[in-house]
Amino acid sequence: MSRSSSLASLIVALSLFVGVGAFAQKPATNPAPTASPQKGDNPQKIGVLDVRLPISVKQSKKFVGGLTVNNFEVYEDGKRQKIEKFIAPSQLPLNIAVLMDTSNSVKLKLPFEKDAAEDFVATVTTFRRKDLVLFATFDSDVELHQDFTDSQEPLIRAIRAVKAGGYTKLYDGVYRVVEEKMASLQSSDARRIIVILSDGEDTASERTLRDAIEMAERYDVTIFGISTKNFKGAGSGLVENADDKDLRKLCEETGGQLFLPSEKAELFRAFTQVALDLRQEYVLFYTPTNQAKTAKRREIKVKLVAAEGHSYHKQGYVY
């Protein structure tokens, strides 16, 4: 082999090595939002801000189906917006990140959490091969164990292999998963979801709660949380009925929900409910009347028309 060929091979090998380690080592940055390319015959609108808004409507904890575009009114900063496109539930593929807390405080609960996560992965990946799931953890570090796949086996192997230890970098975990895995999916029609399994408050993140929320909102990522803070199955002596307000805020401001199981059976039911909720959302698209880029937060409100229930959706974004 010539010297030039050897040098080229070495460069390729080094590039591959750096790419594999990017998730664990790459420092978090704050990328500028980019416009999503349009598919089909529609030309790309360069420099035009478009908003995709997933919405779940529930009454008495049950999804309200059968709604049409006429049942929704969208307001941004108090001004009504024209809904340009409407997608009924269960039509879009799902890109789901399962993000598990493996800090030292979950050591006693970890076996139950792993069993429930396995059950969730099996449920999600059984029905449609177009849905993809990744598995990552956070403790003193944020680690990607299995990238997006539609196969159960590598996901379940990765879940079974994790161990508990270290501090709790919840916000860093959310920020990094969105920035490094979800942001690259922005041109896809797939819905972007993070399911967090955690037992407590963030103790070590460099990023703040607001950083995590705004990063998720920027890339239309809906967050569901399953808090085991009240979980009694491991006899960990936690205070009953204590609500994790920060985790609830993280979920609800991105359009998701928080579940607070206190027993093993409820933990499994919470994952089952999330799996069901993922396929029961409406998606609305609109082009804001205000196209000025001010780097200020815009508030989103959704009003239900001739329909009963509560709507869950992201509550704003920065542009």
Residue 194 inside a domain? The answer is yes
pLDDT value, residue 39: 45
Let me know whether 74 and 122 are in one domain.
no
What residue has token string 């050591």? Answer: 107
183 & 210 share domain? yes
Judge contact between 200 and 244, C-beta under 8 A: yes
Q: What's residue 23's pLDDT?
A: 62
Which helix (DSSP H) or strand (DSSP E) does residue 159 occupy? helix 152-161
φ, ψ (nearest 5 deg) of residue 232: -105, -5
Beta strands in the chain (DSSP E): 51-59, 62-63, 72-76, 79-81, 83-87, 94-101, 132-138, 142-149, 191-198, 221-227, 258-259, 282-286, 297-304, 310-312, 316-318
What is the DSSP pairing of strand 191-198 with strand 94-101? parallel
Residue bearing the bigger pLDDT, 262 or 24: 262
Q: Are residues 139 and 204 in the same domain?
A: yes
Q: Is residue 301 predicted with pLDDT exceeding 70?
A: yes
Rounded to whole angstroms, how far apart are CA atoms 210 and 216?
10
pTM of the full predicted structure? Answer: 0.81
Task: Provide the pLDDT for residue 88.
Answer: 84
- In tens, the pLDDT along 160-200 reads 999 999 999 999 999 999 999 999 887 788 889 999 999 87
Task: Give residue 152's domain range.
Answer: 94-277
Q: Please compute the mean of the pLDDT values over residues 8-27 and round it to a whole number.
A: 43
Kindly tell me if the per-residue pLDDT of 4 is higher than 50.
no
Mean pLDDT over all residues of the chain? 84
In a domain, 200, yes or no: yes
Same domain as 120, residue 83: no
> Does residue 168 lie within any of the structural domains?
yes
Question: Quick one: 268 and 312 in the same domain?
Answer: no
User: Distance (Å, rounded) from C-alpha 299 to C-alpha 103?
Assistant: 34
pLDDT of residue 234: 56
What are residue 258's phi and psi, to 5 degrees?
-110, 135
27-62 tens-digit pLDDT = 333 444 444 444 444 455 656 889 999 999 999 989
Residue 145 shares a structural domain with residue 291:
no
Instruction: Label residue 9 by pLDDT band (50, 70, 90).
Output: very low
Together in a domain, 120 and 69: no
Does a structural domain hold residue 23? no
- 205 domain residue, yes or no: yes
User: Helix (H, G, I), strand (E, B), or coil: what is residue 97?
Assistant: strand
- Give residue-wise pLDDT tens across range 194-243: 999 998 789 999 999 999 999 999 999 999 999 988 777 655 444 444 45
Task: Output the pLDDT for position 189.
Answer: 81
Q: How sure is the predictor about 156, in pLDDT bands with cuts at 50, 70 and 90?
A: very high
Reported as a single tens digit per residue, the pLDDT across 102-154 is 999 888 889 989 999 999 999 888 767 788 999 999 999 999 999 999 999 99
Q: Are residues 295 and 189 in the same domain?
A: no
How far is Cα 319 from Cα 308, in angstroms, rounded to an integer?
32
d(CA 72, CA 306) in angstroms, rounded, equals 9
Return the beta strands (E) in 79-220 as ranges: 79-81, 83-87, 94-101, 132-138, 142-149, 191-198
Q: Are residues 197 and 85 in the same domain?
A: no
The answer to the question of residue 197 being in a domain is yes
Instruction: Supply the pLDDT for residue 230.
Output: 77
The answer on 146 and 130 residing in a single domain is: yes
Would you say residue 15 lies in a domain? no
**Domain contains 43:** no
Phi and psi of 178, rounded to 5°?
-65, -50
Same domain, 243 and 146: yes
For the four alpha carbons of 284, 134, 179 and 213, in that order, the dihedral sign comes to positive
Q: Are 140 and 102 in contact (CB under 8 A)?
A: no
Kindly give the pairing relationship between strand 282-286 and strand 51-59. Answer: antiparallel
The average pLDDT across 272-293 equals: 91
What is the number of domains present in the chain? 2
Contacts of 158 (CB under 8 A, 6+ apart): 135, 145, 146
In this structure, which amino acid lies at residue 111?
Answer: P
Q: Is 14 left (phi over 0), alpha (psi -120 to 50) or beta?
A: alpha
Q: Looking at the structure, tell me whether residues 60 and 122 fall in a common domain.
A: no
Look up the CATH number of the domain holding residue 127: 3.40.50.410
Q: Is the pLDDT of residue 13 over 70?
A: no
